């Protein structure tokens, strides 16, 4: 045993094996980390954030806004009373500048959203819709001006079909350039995929819902007409001829349903679903769909026009909600196209038969 009281040396361990153990390590403080810049997470710069700092495509943003504002100013001048040829020139020049500006702004928005990792990295559906409105006017001029110069006398049903086809081409071109071209959504994302047999089944399944939707629409429209005291005219009025009926069915039950479903459900609803969810996206798309169909409503006075717009808007709410629900439920664009085609076709046929019986 070691005598702990010995002053001539340190105490020795009782167990000789303890002498082989390394001395206990004292806890060390962590080494300081060198200070440096921390990269901030990317953020989306919206179109109303008027700053160049941090923008990934400042030229698109600046030129897009300038073209849009100048074009809008030209269009406004025509509304302020500049008539005849100068007014027409300003109108179409303004529309052309607005289309260019909106397309550039859409590109800027897509780049910013993609860099920020947004759920939907493409232009806003509102932006695309505005570009479609202006583009449809320009396309109408491009087709109508040569026909008027040669003095072509086109029957109303033929003119209606041409107008619907031109509008459909503008819809498809705008989505191709601003959405598909920006890699924001593919045609398959918008519900156009699938085999031919699946597409046919979707068209047939959607058409089944046309009857109940027309019944609900008729009830709401009748109530709204009683309240407002006005009944809006059909965009494709009865012609009284078999040829006119056929052309209107082609325009209203074939071309228009495909184009409108591609724009409102395939593109807009898909984009908004990724941002705000299914139900909110259906409601938002319904509002835009209804407003789009009120742009051509007019009247003898402001009050009469407002009354007819009210009735027309109420009448389109049921089908718009049904189309959105059907697209979300099936994940395919073919079912809404089937419902839309059957809905329009039945109403066109009923109106034609009622005119023939009168």
- Rounded Cα distance between 71 and 69, Å, is 5
- Sign of the torsion angle spanned by Cα atoms 142, 148, 152, 157: positive
| CB of 213 closer than 8 Å to CB of 343 | yes
Predicted confidence at residue 256, as pLDDT, reads 97
- Rounded Cα distance between 240 and 20, Å, is 112
What is the total count of domains within the chain? 2
Give yes or no: residues 133 and 281 share one domain: no
Which residue in this structure is represented by tokens 């110069």? Answer: 149
Q: How far is CA 166 from the centre of its chain?
A: 19
In terms of C-beta density within 10 A (0-12 exposed, 13-18 middle, 19 or more buried), how is residue 175 classed? buried
| CB of 23 closer than 8 Å to CB of 80 | no
Among the candidates 120, 153, 184, a domain finishes at 184
Tell whether 11 is covered by a domain. Answer: no
Q: 48-52, 95-99, 124-128, 322-326: which has the minimum mean pLDDT?
A: 48-52
Give yes or no: residues 108 and 168 share one domain: yes
Predicted confidence at residue 42, as pLDDT, reads 59
Tell whether 124 is covered by a domain. Answer: yes
Predicted confidence at residue 233, as pLDDT, reads 86
Tell whether 22 is covered by a domain. Answer: no
**Which tokens go with 58?**
């400042």
Alpha helices in 181-296, H assignment, sequence order: 196-208, 210-228, 242-250, 256-261, 270-276, 278-292
Q: 54-58, 123-127, 181-185, 331-335: which has the minimum mean pLDDT?
A: 54-58
Q: Mean pLDDT, the chain, as a whole number?
A: 87
Give yes or no: residues 195 and 323 share one domain: yes
Among the candidates 184, 214, 235, a domain finishes at 184
Phi-psi region for residue 29, left (φ > 0), alpha (ψ -120 to 50) or beta?
Answer: beta
Among the candidates 184, 205, 230, a domain finishes at 184
State the residue range of the domain holding 259: 188-358
Tell whether 45 is covered by a domain. Answer: no
């Amino acid at each position: 045993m070691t005598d702990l009281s010995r002053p001539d040396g340190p105490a020795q361990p009782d167990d000789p094996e303890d002498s082989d153990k390394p001395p206990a390590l004292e806890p060390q403080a962590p080494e300081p980390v060198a200070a440096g810049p921390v990269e901030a997470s990317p953020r989306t710069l919206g179109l109303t954030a008027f700053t160049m700092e941090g923008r990934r495509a400042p030229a698109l943003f600046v030129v897009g806004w300038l073209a849009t504002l100048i074009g809008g100013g030209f269009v406004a001048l025509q509304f302020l009373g500049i008539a005849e040829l100068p007014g027409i020139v300003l109108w179409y020049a303004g529309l052309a500048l607005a289309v260019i500006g909106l397309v550039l702004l859409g590109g800027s928005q897509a780049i910013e959203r993609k860099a920020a990792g947004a759920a939907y990295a493409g232009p806003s559906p509102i932006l695309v819709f505005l570009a479609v409105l202006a583009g449809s006017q320009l396309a109408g001029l491009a087709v109508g001006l040569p026909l008027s110069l040669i003095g072509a006398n086109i029957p109303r049903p033929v003119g209606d079909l041409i107008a619907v086809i031109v509008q459909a081409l503008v819809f498809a071109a705008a989505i191709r350039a601003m959405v598909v071209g920006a890699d924001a959504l593919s045609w398959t994302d918008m519900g156009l995929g699938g085999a031919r047999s699946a597409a046919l089944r979707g068209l047939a399944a959607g058409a089944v819902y046309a009857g109940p939707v027309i019944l609900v629409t008729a009830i709401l429209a009748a109530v709204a007409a009683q309240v407002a005291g006005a009944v809006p005219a059909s965009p494709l009025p009865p012609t009284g001829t078999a040829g006119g009926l056929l052309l209107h069915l082609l325009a209203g039950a074939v071309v228009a349903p495909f184009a409108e479903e591609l724009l409102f459900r395939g593109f807009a609803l898909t984009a908004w679903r990724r941002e705000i969810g299914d139900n909110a996206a259906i409601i938002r798309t319904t509002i835009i769909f209804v407003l789009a169909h009120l742009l051509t409503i007019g009247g003898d006075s402001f009050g009469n026009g407002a009354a007819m717009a009210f009735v027309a808007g109420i009448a389109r709410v049921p089908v718009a909600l049904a189309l959105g629900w059907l697209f979300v439920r099936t994940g395919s664009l073919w079912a809404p196209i089937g419902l839309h085609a059957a809905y329009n076709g039945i109403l066109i046929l009923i109106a034609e038969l009622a005119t023939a019986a009168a």
